Structure 1
Amino acid sequence: MDASALPIGLIGDSSGPLYQRLAEGLRGAVRRGEVGAGSKLPSERVLARRLGVSRTTVIGAYRLLREEGLLESVRGSGTRVVASVHRIGPAVPAATMPSVKLTGELAAGVVDLSGSLVAGPEAVPHLTPDPIDLCEPATDLGYQPLGLPSLRARIAARYTGLGLPTTVDEVLVTSGAQQAISLLFTLFGRDGGVIATENPTYAGALDAARAAGATLLALPTDSEGIKVRPLRETLARSSVSLLYVMTTCQNPTGTVMSTQRRTEIARLAEHAGVPVVDDTTLADLAFEGRWHPLPTAASGVVVGSLSKLFWPGMRIGWLRAPRPLMTRLARLKVVADLGSSHVGQQLAAQLLPVSGDMATARRGQLTARLDLMSDLLRSRLPTWSWTRPSGGPFLWVQLPYGDGESFAQLALTYGVQILPGARTSTDRSFADHLRLSFVAEPADLRIAVHRLAEAWTAFESLHGSGRLPFDVVV
């Protein structure tokens, strides 16, 4: 197992000797399925370097777990989880179940700058729907795998209003945008199908592609998104099944693709006969306001969601796709869950008409917090660099030196969770980058940057030494 595949925060903040805390972290990784029966663990030296602890600490943790019967070591073969351990089962790769999204993973007092969760609609009281309406029974008591007709009609009207004529038959309601992406990648990525993406890209899309068994191709980006020449060359020499892009508020960079770039990408994809997925999950958070789907959308696919405007717990997303493709995706949807929650869909149908007002409110929130975060970082961490995003909830920060994975480990011990840039790349490039969310409350942003500055001071003092001192818990 690659040490980078292990979760951030493997050593917790509980009391006791460091080797015991590492042992408990490894037990937890086994319980959560991040490490399965028979899995080979990193060598003591490699894991010590990854965590920034002494090799003695790792040796002690491995020895304790061997004594418990959880691990076994064979000279020349390394250390493994015992294959016969009762009820452990095979590993579920960490990439397909990000620990930052699992309950109970974040210690009390830690400020989370790794996600994009904003306050619920109660932050804008006059946009909160009347809950009594949700009690009205659906006219059709079936599963409705395509989604409630009333919601699909409003989604279709939304895209028609954006300049993309859409009928109800071209809309599939999903359990969040993540399911929409997973359905697409399952369809096009099966049997090693090639899915081309921007590099960097949304980490959840990489998770979905890996879970589907797809072959991923990373294409370089610039300030406008995916570069045209590398895309042209890739489409000419590779059998690409699907192109996945985020043209508006790209995750993690926050860029918005220019009209000319959109037109060029649409033309190349159409010429090559490759479907394009435009993930517009963050598009409503573009600071300039109104946005437009990729020009190929009439023959391509658009992914959307209400999660970033209202709240993720509603779990309502959708796909807008041509009818022949919609039929295939609907079959996969039935296999996945038979249909999304009717209550959530009824709520979404109420919220869509006020989504424009909510988007305006969200943009105001995010712009103010972006300004605050930028000012704090410039003051406390002047050697870090970034380009102001055109929208979305993230800053894409480049470190002056060092590795983002190692710094993220250290930052967590200071009480801040962040996403290393390597997690957003198919080839784990952008190791010197961090994705920092600025959706937290202003008071929490101030606390987080203060802690990051302290962590960076410690990181700087250790830079070039090759390891962290033994008493630093990572």
Structure 2
Amino acid sequence: MKRGNDLELNLVPGSHAPLYLQVAEAITEAILQGRLHPGMALPSVRVMSERLSVTVNTILAALRELQSQGWLTSQERCGFFVTGTHPTEAGHPSENKPDPPGFDLPAHLRPVTSTANVAMDLSDGCGDARLAPFQALGRAYQRGLRLKGAQLMGTRDPLGLSRLREALANHLGSHRSLSVDPDRILILRSTSMAVTLVAQTLIGSQGGVVAVENPGHPEVWETLRQACTANLRSVPVDLEGVKVDALEAILEEGPLKLLILTPQCHFPTGGRLGTPRRSQVLELSRRYRFPILELDAEHDYLSAPESLAALDPGQVLHVGSLSRIFAPGLRVSYLVVPSALAALLARAKQHLDWQGDPAQEWALSELFLDGEIQRQILRVRKAAGERSEALQDALRHGMGDCLKWRSGAMAFWMEGKGFLSDPLAFNVWVKACQARGMKLRPGRYYQLDGADLAATRLGFTAFTPEELQKAVAMMR
């Protein structure tokens, strides 16, 4: 077997193609120039990685691309070989428009953002449906319907199916140091539903001050405004999380009804609330008697310290999500609350979601008992690590002179540097990305006061390394 170990490969300087495609182009060039002959084995992945100063995953992505095009074939334990055949290519999408209604619409209503020109929604990290365990989930549904079908279709527990709450209580105890009675857990459809329930129950039409992180989560702010009469006050965030002195200044002005935090992985910057500040925030919560709503949807993607709710279950309401480890279409979240609050929130939940989805909840409880949830967590964590690495590789080679970034659990927080440090220039760049089919948000979207910011959030967990490298190439 002849192997091209002496093969010299070079990336084309200034190329705007995705990094893995630049590698693929260098290999096809070697084939076309006769430096690699049909049947010849390529150098090992590690050798090519060292010669080109790119990651092993980028080399593998290039080789898989060339294999799919027909340039290469692979043999287990032997590597990749030149076939000498030529690549082929394939095709694209379509559109639609609705008729207006026969009545006048209120002026305050706003439509959902159009996705007509969106090829890749990079505005947030979400689960990749292609990684979901469909067969295991299908079997779990079948078992539930076969064994308990009539009961599940007629069941109504305002807290959610007890079997799933018990499984979640065990999971939270072993993975988040959160010792919790199942009767303190509510099964919900989304994080927004959790925010709505808490806002309706603790604030309602009487109103009051709600402190939120800034930059922060605009969807949470909008949900609060719709669910109650809230006066939103921003607490600035730095690398260690919310600034405690700014929170104290708000407290000295008057009572606080609620503080909403993302302490494990701050939305949108990916930072973590430092240990000293955790203690300080909890101490303020006890002294001034206000509850904390802890949003922790991304926890399963990282090894984080114990939740705030584990440190003080009497002050903190904890929100988690199973949708993030499966897919956006599987809508399941949960809310852990102090025991005195569970029945009150369950009553409010009945008005939003009378029946729940007992069949889905049974199926998920089966996945917990089978160990499939833990396997899925390991699966998505591994994929997220590879995708984060590929994205950093592409950004370093393609945009390292104009962007700096911080890697979070499911997304990067990207800030402009050089000419993109100017918020105006950064916004122009974001619009250019949007015009090319990539959904990104301008920095002001994450600011409570709408102030310009040369930054954006880029979600990576829903896309393969190859797709992410294509996206970075289109950004340039």
Q: TM-score, normalised by structure 1?
A: 0.71
Contact 1:277–1:302 under 8 Å retained in 2 = yes
Partner AA of 2:215 in structure 1: P
Matched, 1:364 2:382: yes
> 2:63 matched to which residue of 1?
none
Residues in 2 aligned to 1:385 and 1:122: alpha-carbon distance in whole angstroms: 30
C-alpha distance 409-388 of structure 1, shift in aligned 2 (>3 A): closer
Q: Does 1:393 align with 2:411?
A: yes
In the alignment, is the contact (CA less than 8 A) between 2:131 and 2:380 conserved in 1? Answer: no
Aligned residue in 1 for 2:211: 196
Cα offset, 1:307, TM superposition? 0.9
Deviation (angstroms), 1:125: 7.5
Alignment correspondent of 2:472: 449
RMSD: 2.8
1:331-381 CA-partner distances (Å, limit 9, x unpaired): 221111213211221222123344333222222211221122122222222
**Which of residues 105, 129, 133 is equivalent to 2:143?**
133
After superposition, the Cα gap between the structure-2 partners of 1:204 and 1:394, relative to the gap in structure 1 and judged at 3 Å, is: farther
Deviations 1:256-311 (A, max 9, x none): 2222221111111111101001111111112x366434423343200011011112
Residue matched to 1:160: 173
Find the residue that maps to 1:314 and give its secondary structure.
Answer: coil
SS where residue 372 of structure 1 aligns?
helix
User: Are residues 387 and 380 of structure 1, via their aligned partners in 2, closer, same or farther at CA, if it must alter by over 3 Å?
Assistant: closer
* Alpha-carbon separation, structure 2, partners of 1:137 and 1:90: 44
1:379 correspondence with 2:397: yes
Q: Do the aligned partners of 2:255 and 2:288 also contact (CA within 8 Å) in 1?
A: no
Runs of 4+ in 1 over 6 A off after TM superposition: none
Structure 1 389/318 Cα, relative in aligned 2: closer, same or farther at 3 Å?
Answer: same
Q: Is the 8 A contact 2:196 2:223 kept in 1?
A: yes
Residue 196 (structure 2) pairs with residue 172 (structure 1) = no
Partner secondary structure for residue 255 of structure 1: coil
Closer, same or farther in 2 for the Cα pair 1:416/1:343, shift >3 Å?
Answer: same
Residue pair 2:423, 2:454 contacting (<8 A) in 1 also: yes
Secondary structure of 1:435 counterpart: strand
Q: Distance in 2 between matches of 1:361 and 1:428?
A: 38
Asked whether 1:409 is paired with 2:431, we answer yes
Which letter does structure 1 place at the counterpart of 2:200? T
Q: Which of 376-385 and 414-423 deviates more?
A: 376-385
User: 1:123 deviation in Å?
Assistant: 5.2
Q: State how far apart, in whole Å, the 1-side matches of 2:192 and 2:122 are.
A: 20
What's the secondary structure of 1:106's corresponding residue? coil
Of the three residues 157, 161, 165, the one matched with 1:144 is 157
Map 1:79-98 to 2 at 5 A.
Answer: 86-91=102-107, 93-94=109-110, 98=112
Post-superposition Cα deviations, 1:67-101, rounded to whole Å, max 9, x if no partner, equal xxxxxxxxxxxxxxxxxx8324214544xx752xx
Asked if 1:355 is matched to 2:373, the reply is: yes
Q: Distance in 2 between matches of 1:133 and 1:372?
A: 39
Q: Which structure would you say has the larger Rg?
A: 2
Q: Which residue of 1 aligns with 2:126?
A: 117
Mapping 1:219-368, distance limit 5 Å: 219-286=235-302, 288=303, 291-294=306-309, 295-352=311-368, 353-368=371-386
| Cα deviation 1:150-183 (Å, max 9, x = unaligned) | 1111222233333332112211111122211221
Moved more, 153-162 or 327-336: 153-162
Counterpart of 2:470 in structure 1: which amino acid?
A: I
Which of 171, 192, 195 is equivalent to 1:181? 195
* Deviates most, 243-252 or 124-133: 124-133
Identity fraction in percent: 24
**What is the Cα deviation at residue 215 of structure 1?**
1.4
Q: What's 1:9 paired with?
A: none
Check 1:238–1:358 CA distance in 2 against 1; reply closer, same or farther (3 A cut). farther
Aligned equivalents of 1:151 and 1:281: distance in 2? Answer: 18
Structure 2 counterpart of 1:385, one-letter code: L
Distance (Å, rounded) in 1 between the aligned partners of 2:118 and 2:253: 51
Q: Deviations over 1:421-456 (max 9, x none)?
A: 222221123532111111212222122111111xxx
The separation in 2 between residues aligned to 1:415 and 1:424, in whole angstroms, is 21
Label 1:258 to 1:109 Cα distance change in 2 as closer, same or farther (>3 A). closer
Matched residues in 1 for 2:136 and 2:444: separation?
38
Q: Is the 8 A contact 1:283 1:392 kept in 2?
A: no
1:178-225, CA deviations, whole angstroms, 9 ceiling, x for partnerless residues?
211221123334333221111112232112112123211110111121
Contact 2:410 2:459 in 1 (8 A): no
TM-score scaled by length of structure 2:
0.70
